[in-house]
């Protein structure tokens, strides 16, 4: 392993050098929450964040993205990747990025996502503060975070920086790093292990067991019961680090000749998500009730994708639970309830 140490006092200079040389995106404060955004001053980087409103997938898969710009019948690609360092990503979001990497790579490769993903250096950081709705310690325990280029852990006197790839190694040039000692490596491991059982919420069963049991509960009245207060607002989808659905629409500029084909994040909790055009101008919505939409999300997170991803499509960040104004989205409550039935 390539493990290095940088003193607390040198860390600010390291950040300053890196920001001066590269585009750096990291956690920043926004009112009483946090967001991933471009870091322009070292003091803007808030590695003590608990969770961000939107997950870092937005760096590769923006909420709104032009896919093609057109002029009359001619179209041109909008793919313009920009070398970026995505710094300070918690391990659960690294797991989620690994899933979206897989999903955007399979079948028809999504170059709009992959081009930006490939020129991004992904650096993790340890969880210093645990979000009030987090349950990452008890979900998908068999799935290890991977696909990142390096990982920083705050330890006594400074930060341990573990390097996994050449892209991760490149960052060493921006700071005064020394080889880490065995004790420092062990301390970092302990720091990262210790947060796992400190989450305020906990799923009580193994993900494979959950996958089978939840799937068997397709006709349970639980779905309508939990969805009774649902606003169908899609917030649980939109803040989810593993959701990847989008809608595509063409838009003309006012000149009526030029325009763009745009994609926007979509969510299966929204009423029109499953609305389809049929012949003769009629429409059919195959998930018309709140309960059926609510069930679909939980099925996607617990069961439908597990074979493909090797684990649940949920990383326990707690974003859906906290963004749900009606407070019915928390997977912990519905999964634990179904498992006990």
Kindly list the residues in this chain that would bind other proteins in the complex (CB under 8 A).
30-33, 35, 53-54, 63-64, 228-235, 238-239, 249-256, 259, 264-265, 267, 270-272, 290, 322-323, 325-326
Short-list 241, 299, 313, CA closest to 268: 299
Q: How far is CA 84 from CA 13, 166, 262, 270, 280, in A?
A: 19, 15, 23, 33, 48
- Which is nearer to other proteins, 6 or 230 (by Cβ)? 230
In terms of CB distance, is 43 or 229 closer to other proteins? 229
| b/e map 129-150, b = 16+ CB within 10 Å | ebbebbbbbbbbeebebebbbb
Question: Which residue, 164 or 226, has its beta carbon nearer to other proteins?
Answer: 226
Q: Hey, is 21 helix, strand or coil?
A: helix
Minimum Å gap between C-beta 238 and other proteins is 4
d(CA 101, CA 111): 11
Distance in Å, CB of 179 to other proteins, minimum = 39
Smaller CB separation from other proteins, 148 or 290: 290
Q: How far is the CB of 35 from other proteins (least distance, A)?
A: 5
Comparing C-alpha atoms, which of 99, 58, 55 is closest to residue 301?
A: 99
Contact by Cβ (8 Å): 123, 87: yes
For residue 96, the minimal CB distance to other proteins (Å) is 16
Alpha-carbon separation of residue 17 from 21, 87, 103, 176, 333 (angstroms): 6, 14, 35, 11, 45
Q: CA–CA separation, 208 vs 308, rounded Å?
A: 13
Angle between helices 331-340 and 207-216 (to 10 degrees): 70
Quick one: 5 or 131, whose CB is closer to other proteins? 131
Distance CA 80, CA 60 (A): 11
Say which residues have a Cβ less than 8 Å from residue 105's Cβ, sequence separation at least 6.
114
CA pair distance 304, 227, nearest whole angstrom: 20
Give 195 or 238: the residue with its C-beta nearer to other proteins: 238
What's the min distance (Å) between Cβ of 228 and other proteins? 8
Q: How far is the CB of 229 from other proteins (least distance, A)?
A: 4
What's the CA gap between 281 and 113, in Å, rounded? 33
Residue 264 Cβ, how far from other proteins at the closest point, in Å?
A: 7
Between 108 and 256, CB nearer to other proteins? 256
In the bound state with other proteins, the residue whose beta carbon lies nearer, of 76 and 256, is: 256
Smallest separation, CB 291 to other proteins (Å): 12
């Amino acid at each position: 392993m390539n493990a290095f140490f940088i003193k607390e006092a040198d860390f600010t200079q390291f950040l300053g050098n890196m920001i001066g040389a590269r585009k750096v995106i990291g956690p920043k404060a926004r009112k009483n929450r946090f967001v991933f955004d471009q870091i322009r001053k070292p003091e803007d980087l808030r590695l003590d964040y608990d969770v961000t409103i939107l997950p870092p997938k937005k760096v590769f898969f923006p909420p709104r993205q032009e896919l093609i710009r057109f002029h009359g019948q001619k179209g041109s690609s909008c793919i313009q990747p920009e070398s970026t360092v995505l710094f300070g990503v918690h391990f659960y979001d690294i797991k989620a990025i690994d899933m979206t990497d897989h999903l955007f790579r399979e079948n028809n490769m999504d170059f709009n996502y992959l081009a930006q993903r490939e020129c991004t250096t992904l650096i993790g950081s340890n969880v210093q503060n645990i979000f009030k709705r987090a349950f990452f310690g008890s979900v998908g325990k068999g799935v290890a975070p991977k696909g990142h280029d390096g990982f920083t852990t705050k330890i006594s006197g400074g930060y341990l920086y573990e390097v996994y790839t050449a892209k991760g190694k490149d960052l060493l040039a921006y700071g005064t790093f020394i080889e880490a000692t065995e004790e420092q490596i062990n301390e970092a491991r302990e720091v990262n292990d210790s947060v796992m059982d400190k989450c305020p919420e906990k799923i009580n069963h193994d993900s494979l067991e959950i996958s089978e049991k939840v799937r068997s509960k397709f006709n349970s009245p639980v779905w309508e019961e939990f969805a009774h207060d649902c606003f169908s607002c899609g917030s649980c989808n939109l803040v989810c680090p593993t959701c990847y659905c989008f809608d595509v629409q063409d838009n003309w500029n006012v000149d009526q000749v030029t325009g763009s084909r745009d994609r926007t994040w979509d969510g299966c909790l929204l009423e029109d998500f499953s609305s389809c055009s049929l012949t003769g101008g009629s429409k059919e919505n195959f998930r018309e009730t709140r309960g059926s939409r609510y069930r679909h999300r939980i099925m996607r997170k617990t069961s439908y994708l597990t074979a493909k991803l090797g684990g649940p499509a949920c990383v326990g960040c707690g974003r859906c639970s906290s963004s749900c104004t009606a407070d019915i989205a928390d997977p912990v409550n519905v999964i634990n309830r179904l498992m006990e039935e």
